[in-house]
Structure 1
Amino acid sequence: MKVLLRNVFSAFLCFCPLLLIAQKITVDNTMPRLDEKGQIVDAHDGRIIQFGDRYYWYGTAYGNTNGFTTKNQYVSYSSSDLKNWKSHGPLLKNQPIGVHYRPHVIYNKTTKNYVLWYNWYPKLWDGQFGVAISKNPEGPFTIVNDNTSMAHSDIGLGDLGLFVDDDGSAYVSYNTIKDHQVSVEKLSDDYLSSTKENGGFIAKHMEAGAMFKRNGKYYLLTDYTCCFCNYGSGARVYISENPMTGYKLKGNINRYPGKFSGILNDGIYTGTLYETLSKHEDAFDAVEIRLEKNVKVNALNIHLFTGNRPENCGDVSNPRVHPKIEIPSFKVFKKANGEWSEVKITSQNIQKSALKSELTLTLETTEANHLKIQPSTIDYAFDEIYVNEVEIIQKDNHKTKRDDFEVFIIGKKIRPRPIIPAQQTYVMKLNTDKGEEFIWMGDLWGSASDNIKGHDYQYWSKPLEFYEDGSIKPMKWQHTWSVEAKK
């Protein structure tokens, strides 16, 4: 019996480490991240990647500069919990004189080398890529080639990101200096050079691309150029079945589609609390609805304010005091797999009352998480349409709760602002109790209270959420969040 108990106890001790592989990680976006000496982590426009049981943070240290000087230096930090960071100092041996940005490190299982790719400028803006290697993830790295030839080297090389596929093949997504054109290119087997196999340009005027793979689909996130902008850039989502080609735009997870409206789902159906849909050339502004989840929609109620018509004052020959009340017509669209398609309206009903009309559009039953209500009356008598409220009607005349959807006014002259005022730097893969999850990372330029660039904060999103079709849900600012991570 004693021997049996001892064996059971020994087995329990051996099993204990397996029980300890999960740990709770908490991210706080409201405070600067500190190293073991209490100094603010100065590592920007790079990546965090897990090697072994530690997370390694590679970035550019800017110190107290404007970011366009030869003082920029590559650095690395490491942590076991994404909270307590150990500084490993400079990353690159004999860093050449120039302006440096965007350090990214990946591991080659065959050569057992950690490989660093970086973007640097011997002279602004004569951009090129350098490659360096190390046997240790924290470095220091030794330069192999400081001017790696790429398919589009002739028009200058800008921001870059690295991605390693399941089969060990590696790719670099990058933008050119001329027109900031984004493409994906395959690396050699040792990751030290490019094969020059390039999938062609995906988009223009973009930068700061980041790639990842989920459920067999390849994701490339990028957006408009942002020169250390404190208002932030967006995060366009391109998805493909192939790592280099076939990318299609499936939305932007870091931009509001237009002007946020708290009026159109506040429960006030009449009066002068309305949103104005203005006519610009051949189209009116529209209403876009974002739902928290897929909803089966049977009908939409649109409450229109009709009391804001121009009056007739003094023209006694005019038989009318006010122009005739007209009800505009609308089209309805839904978004699926990142693309809009029209929803058939099977019937409509109008109920008129003092100063308002309620238009009910009965739809061919559809399931959606995004809806768009677009005025379709081009020859409408007025240049403005006034909307008090929008209601989503589900099965059995059930109305979607106001807290379950957001409403925006979209149009040609309405600027879609970033949700998180940060410039994208990377999408980090994190192993959690729910499997692989993905953390969007961005630099909050101009956020340091002491106005030192190297102290600017970074924003790390909670794990990205995905719709059933694989498209990504829009982000929301989170002060803090937690997850059970595995190693």
Structure 2
Amino acid sequence: MASFFGMRGIRFLLALTMALGGLLVVTAPARAAVDTNLVNFDAAGNQVIRFDTDGNAVDAHDGAIERFGGTYYLYGTAYDCGYQWQNNDTFCGFKVYSSPDLAHWTDRGLVAPPRSCQYCFRPHVVYDKATRRYVMWVNDQGAADKFRVYTSRTPTGPFTEQPVPDLPDQTHCTADLAVFVDDDGTAYLTCSNAGWHIAVIQLTADYLRAAGPYDITGVTRVEAPSIFKRNGTYYLTMSDPNCGYCTGTGTSYLTAKSPLGPWRGRDAWTAEDGALTASGGLYGLSQQGEDWRDYTFSFDVAPLPTTSGTSAQAGFSVRMNQDDHGYLFLLTGSGPAKNGQLSVLRRAGATTASHVVKLDKPIVAGEWHHVAVTAAGATLTTSIDGVQVDAYTDATYATGKVGFREWNGANLESARFDNVTVTAADGRTLLSDDFSGDFAKWVVPTSGVKFTDDSCGGQPAQVATLPSRHGAPTYLYFSDLWDFHTNEALANYYWQPLSFGSDGAIQPLTCANSRVHLDPGHPGHQRPIRALDQTSGVTGFRATCDIAGTTRREQDFTAGRTGRLASLAVTVFKDGTETGRVLRTPPSDPLDVEIVDRGTGRTVWSASVPASTIGWSARNLTVRPGIRVRRGAEYAVRLGSSTTTGCYGVAFNDQNPYPGGTSAISTDGGAGFTAEPARDLKFQTSVER
């Protein structure tokens, strides 16, 4: 009503109603619900780029989606300036976008500015009702406590940095974080620690520091945590295994009845037919043995096939009091036709020394062997089936427990173990277990319950809880589709509402497009373009980078009106040469832009755009030719560069989004172009009369 009558009309109606002695109730129009299609892939299953309401690629990664009021906000790390984790410190800042429907995102700018930072990522923002402040936590390995905290009066900033949060030393939190606010207003920080466990830490009432209570989960080699609550159960999702910027690491979850645990997933150890079967979970160590020095660790073992089926591997350890800090042995076989091998690794969170022993017989999946490792002083002696196969000398670790270890990654390892004995140098039995009972003598590893093996081509960032005015919340899964290329600005996204079984189990991701019901919400739209004439739209586009040297690209368009070509925008980006994952070399020369009159074949306008003005993400390059165009006449925009390093890229769509023209490619420096039927580059023109 307010939008129809205006405020003057409302005042008039109120005065009239009072004069007539009646009653008039005027309410602001409620925001309606909206159903939004979450488009992750095109019809052929290719990843597509999400563009904001200005037509630029959304550039906010490894962050979070939140709903404040009736608006949805996306926070993330920006990469358009060329920021690359571990390889440079040109941090682009943290960005925020807003949307009414999760489909149309408006760039609201930076919530933390660019600066020198080699390890800055994962911004998460929550609202503290007690202080009426928005609180943002971010990772920063250069900070005194590895994290920074900011506050703001509004969800889009400006955010002001607060003192160092001073987390408990025992949690060893150094990496990926998320923040969760419970129904009672209590906030919890969850973060990865140095051993790649996940810690959950209760925060103070102002959400700025640790309150004291914390819990460390039993899973290892995981990162990217996120907590949500559903029907009284808390869920902790995580990247499983940890793998920064990977193209397809899995997502697992744990559950608990309290944010501070205990968190439970899938026990990686089971008792089957009087033996231990270890399936993933990484390390399971003996309960006792911190002070064990010289001893013999003997057992029977049958390596089982890995998930890929290409090999079988069993892991065991000695002198290890902390997961992955001690000596690890890997017994590996790849079939009956090939002899096996024994790897001996000194571990301190990573391999610091190792050697491999080639065995003189096969190690076949499912076949039992008897193994004994004797630790005597600085020498570790290994025998298999009664025959010594190795003697290794290293004095780094003098005491410690025994245990078993099976890798937890996509190529899951498993093995069976039985008849364990640990015998001291003086003949005393320190440990004996035939696994006919429970696992009371061991610290049993817990694995997360996987609901996707590859996060639909990326790495998980968050599960966002989006409350609804009517009905249950939406639990929106969010992963970054890294391509394992150094240009992280090109990463796309996978978004899908989670579904649950009757027992509360998270159902497997479909890795497809999906639909979400938002309440509140209302349809968004692209920002209007003045005098818009021709456009190929903003949906269904992918990226390719090959404009360099003799390779050029062009896009035809047909003028819809006669007048002045006020602007032409084509979506481009720059990329570069890569060796391994070392920082790329950007283009050495500018991008040349030409407009050709198809009727005459003449170039009617041209310009050179410096590489420094073109970003690493797909953004509109807008030029203002000001030339006269004729209704119905055909033109082409051509893109080329003589660069000898790197390349310039374009966004393209193979579903013919623009029937008035097509794209073409030249590989001979523009002497000839080959049409690409049904393909169009992303562009738009405006013509003023």
Deviation (angstroms), 1:438: 0.4
Map residues 43-442 of structure 1 onto 2, 5 A cutoff: 43-63=60-80, 64-68=82-86, 69-72=88-91, 73-92=93-112, 97-122=117-142, 128-145=146-163, 147-152=164-169, 155=172, 157-176=174-193, 178-222=194-238, 223-230=240-247, 232-250=248-266, 281=302, 412=414, 417-418=453-454, 420-432=456-468, 434-442=471-479
Distance 2:117 2:302 in 1: 53
2:482 aligns to what SS in structure 1?
coil
One-letter identity of the residue aligned with 1:243: P
Map residues 440-479 of structure 1 onto 2, 5 A cutoff: 440-446=477-483, 452-461=487-496, 463-479=497-513
Q: Aligned pair in 2 of structure 1 residues 169, 200: CA closer, same or farther (>3 Å)?
A: same
Q: Aligned pair in 2 of structure 1 residues 282, 95: CA closer, same or farther (>3 Å)?
A: closer
Deviation (angstroms), 1:135: 0.4
Larger deviation, residues 428-437 vs 58-67: 428-437
Deviation (angstroms), 1:21: 2.3
1:352-399 Cα deviation digits (max 9, x unpaired): xxxxxxxxxxxxxxxxxxxxxxxxx999xxxxxxxxxxxxxxxxxxxx
Computing the radius of gyration over CA atoms, which structure comes out larger, 1 or 2?
Answer: 2
1:96-116 Cα deviation digits (max 9, x unpaired): 745311110000111110001
Runs of 4+ in 1 over 3 A off after TM superposition: 6-11, 93-98, 152-156, 282-286, 409-413, 431-434
Q: Aligned pair in 2 of structure 1 residues 7, 468: CA closer, same or farther (>3 Å)?
A: farther
Distance 1:45 1:34 in 2: 17
One-letter identity of the residue aligned with 2:494: Y
Distance 1:475 1:8 in 2: 57
Distance 2:57 2:23 in 1: 45
Larger deviation, residues 439-448 vs 235-244: 439-448
1:181-236 Cα deviation digits (max 9, x unpaired): 21100000010111131123332211000000000111101122112111x22121
2:184 aligns to what SS in structure 1?
coil
Q: Does 1:27 align with 2:10?
A: no
1:235 aligns to what SS in structure 2?
strand
Contact 1:71 1:99 in 2 (8 A): no
Aligned length: 328
Q: TM-score normalised to the size of structure 2?
A: 0.43
One-letter identity of the residue aligned with 2:155: P
Match of 1:323 in 2: none
2:250 aligns to what SS in structure 1?
coil
Distance 1:120 1:468 in 2: 40
Q: Aligned pair in 2 of structure 1 residues 37, 94: CA closer, same or farther (>3 Å)?
A: closer
From 13, 17, 24, the equivalent of 2:29 is 17
Distance 1:285 1:121 in 2: 35
Deviation (angstroms), 1:251: 9.4
Match of 2:565 in 1: none
Larger deviation, residues 58-67 vs 183-192: 58-67
Match of 1:333 in 2: none
Match of 1:38 in 2: 55
Structure 2: which 5+ residue stretches go unaligned? 1-16, 42-47, 269-278, 281-300, 308-365, 369-410, 416-449, 522-689
Contact 2:75 2:94 in 1 (8 A): yes
2:489 aligns to what SS in structure 1?
helix
1:213-271 Cα deviation digits (max 9, x unpaired): 000111101122112111x221211000011111101599xxxx99xxxxxxxxxxxxx
Structure 1: which 5+ residue stretches go unaligned? 259-279, 287-376, 380-408
Q: Aligned pair in 2 of structure 1 residues 378, 235: CA closer, same or farther (>3 Å)?
A: same
Deviation (angstroms), 1:17: 3.3
1:57 aligns to what SS in structure 2?
strand
1:75 aligns to what SS in structure 2?
strand
Distance 1:201 1:419 in 2: 22
Q: Aligned pair in 2 of structure 1 residues 422, 224: CA closer, same or farther (>3 Å)?
A: same
Contact 1:128 1:148 in 2 (8 A): no
Q: Aligned pair in 2 of structure 1 residues 419, 102: CA closer, same or farther (>3 Å)?
A: closer
One-letter identity of the residue aligned with 1:17: P
Q: Give the fraction of aligned pairs with identical amino acids, expressed as a percent.
A: 29
Of structures 1 and 2, the one with the larger relative CO (CA 8 A, separation 6+) is: 1
One-letter identity of the residue aligned with 1:466: F
1:59-94 Cα deviation digits (max 9, x unpaired): 001123433332221111111111111112111258
Q: Aligned pair in 2 of structure 1 residues 410, 475: CA closer, same or farther (>3 Å)?
A: same
Distance 1:422 1:24 in 2: 26
Contact 2:70 2:520 in 1 (8 A): no
Match of 1:292 in 2: none
Contact 1:26 1:483 in 2 (8 A): no
1:381-423 Cα deviation digits (max 9, x unpaired): xxxxxxxxxxxxxxxxxxxxxxxxxxxx99749x994251211
Distance 1:132 1:114 in 2: 8
Task: Give RMSD over aligned pairs.
Answer: 3.7
Deviation (angstroms), 1:481: 2.8
From 515, 522, 538, the equivalent of 1:481 is 515
